[in-house]
Amino acid sequence: MPKLTINGREVEVPAGTNLIEAARALGVEVPHYCYHPGLSIAGQCRLCMVDIEKTPRPTIACNTLAADGMVVLTETERVKETRRSIMEFHLINHPLDCPVCDQAGECWLQIYYMRHGLYDPRMTDEKVHKPKAVPLGPHVILDAERCILCSRCVRFCDEVTGTGELGIFHRGDQSEIGLFPGQELANKYSANVVDICPVGALTERDFRFAVRVWYLDVTKSVCPGCARGCNVEVHVNRRRPHHNEGRRVARLKPRFNADVNKWWICDAGRYGFKAVDDKTRLREPFRREAGTVTDASWDEAIAAVAGALERYAPDEVGVLASPRMANEDLFALRRVLERRGIRRVAFRVPPAVDGDQDEILIRADKNPNARGAELLGLDGDAAALLAAARARQVKCLWIFDHDLLASAWPEALVLGALGAVETLVWVGANANATSERAHWVLPAAAWVEREGTYTNFEGRVQRLRQAVEPLGQALPEWEILGRVLEALGAGARPPRAERWFRELAAATPAFAGLSYQAIGDGGQMVRA
């Protein structure tokens, strides 16, 4: 453990730590472009120069390992002058198109220019022109003029995905980032190059010109796209509703979690938020009788559901929970089942196509909380439940979120079961072919509109946080189930997701000792 002094303060860091990370441990920022903790060291940008005692010249911090007794100074006049000169060099051919650049506002070139720049450029020659607005693949667009050739994107494709689509071509001031011939930047993690690009050279096609970044509000959350549960930031646009065609969620960005997703997220997860502002979203509870739809209030809907649960014998009720529901929802559902003694419950519906999986992040199970549903004891035989409905043993079927008609089950069997039940209750956020056949449809809040927790495949419990208000009258499932529980005479329901979780942690051994405080931003493992 080398002990060194940075700007007069002592710090002890693990052996092999470079000076950027050592300074970061002290809260000292060393400006840099090409260094990224998730990638190899390139030493391309030369911006991270620091003064080290007994060395004659400033040295790059990214490629200098902390050593015992080292004395480092990051803010001397010589270092500042070096940074200013390097900034000037980077800006020689950088176009002044910040007004049209999507990166403006979160651009490190802008930030360090404002901090260290020479405000009056000495460069009078014509800038070198390079291709602009070139699509590299389905998600990424390149502006070669804005590129400062830090090579982070090249290293990402070489080292993280191993696909190697990108390279730096030509020499000197003609150098530019580009695709190898015949290649397309279409790997499953391609949009991560946008996040790591310190300037506006690589931007997202999906987010292009949608919203200026300074209008966005950020909420920490978890991606619901697969069992990995990558940590994300949800960027929502509440201040300028006329932008982005009124869609509230503008984009997702990965959030660093050393134990789950590091710095990355897959493209399927990144662009999986479209359902939130989709036109299939349900806004009001309604009932369907003989094909006619009538709007209903929540009180009527809850009374109808509770009435059905009481009217039928416990054995005549089947519940198909969803592994897309949060732990709190599933626990509230378990309470309802326990109250009525309902035994027919399941949550696994086989998908029509098997999910893809890889060694990086993507999991075959595309549900965020299958492990949580297992731990809460809701696992059962879904196919048997469907068969019982077909055989008219189950008269009331309560489905959460699933679209059985899009599953691997044959359509005729599903339609037979859905047609056979007397009461079909469906709860979910987006209408689908199954909800089209339900007698009662209850709108649930989408994952960005509510609080909750998911348990990922490893057993890590992670928090969802509310980024926007629910659409229309939609409610989180724990609230819907809490109201049903009250209507069944169970007493006052917990008013918040956190209180539901507290009850869940007290009642379930796997979750014992967990709380929202303990989970924090990084998540906590369940027991065993």
Nearest CA to 241 out of 210, 219, 271 is that of 210
Distance between CA atoms of residues 527 and 233, nearest Å: 27
Which x/- pattern, by CB under 8 A, does the window 233-262 give for other proteins? Answer: -------x-xx-------------------
Which x/- pattern, by CB under 8 A, does the window 455-494 give for other proteins? Answer: ----------------------------------------
Which x/- pattern, by CB under 8 A, does the window 284-323 give for other proteins? Answer: ----------------------------------------
Nearest to other proteins of 144, 441 (CB atom):
144
Distance between CA atoms of residues 406 and 118, nearest Å: 59
> Which pair of structure tokens corresponds to residue 413?
């069997």
Single-letter code of the amino acid located at 453: T
Task: Give the bridge partners for 289, in sequence order.
Answer: 292
Site for other proteins contains 208 (CB under 8 A): yes
Nearest to other proteins of 212, 287 (CB atom):
212
- Give the range of 16-24, 51-59, 193-201, 212-220 binding other proteins by CB under 8 A: 212-220
First to last CA, the chain: 33
Could you count the other beta carbons within 10 Å of the beta carbon of residue 12?
13
Distances (CA, A) of 319 to 310, 345, 414: 14, 5, 15
Nearest to other proteins of 126, 289 (CB atom):
126
Residues 6+ apart with CB under 8 A from 96: none
Single-letter code of the amino acid located at 237: N
- Give the range of 59-67, 130-138, 169-177, 317-325 binding other proteins by CB under 8 A: 130-138
Which x/- pattern, by CB under 8 A, does the window 93-122 give for other proteins? Answer: ----xxxx---x------------------
Q: How many residues bind other proteins (CB under 8 A)?
A: 16
| DSSP letter, residue 156 | I
Q: CB of 207: closest distance to other proteins in angstroms?
A: 12
Q: CB of 138: closest distance to other proteins in angstroms?
A: 16
Instruction: Indicate the SS3 state at residue 362.
Output: coil
Contact 447, 224 (CB under 8 A): yes
Site for other proteins contains 205 (CB under 8 A): no
Q: CB of 131: closest distance to other proteins in angstroms?
A: 8
Distance between CA atoms of residues 326 and 123, nearest Å: 57
Binding interface with other proteins (CB under 8 A)? 97-100, 104, 131-133, 208-209, 212, 214-215, 240, 242-243
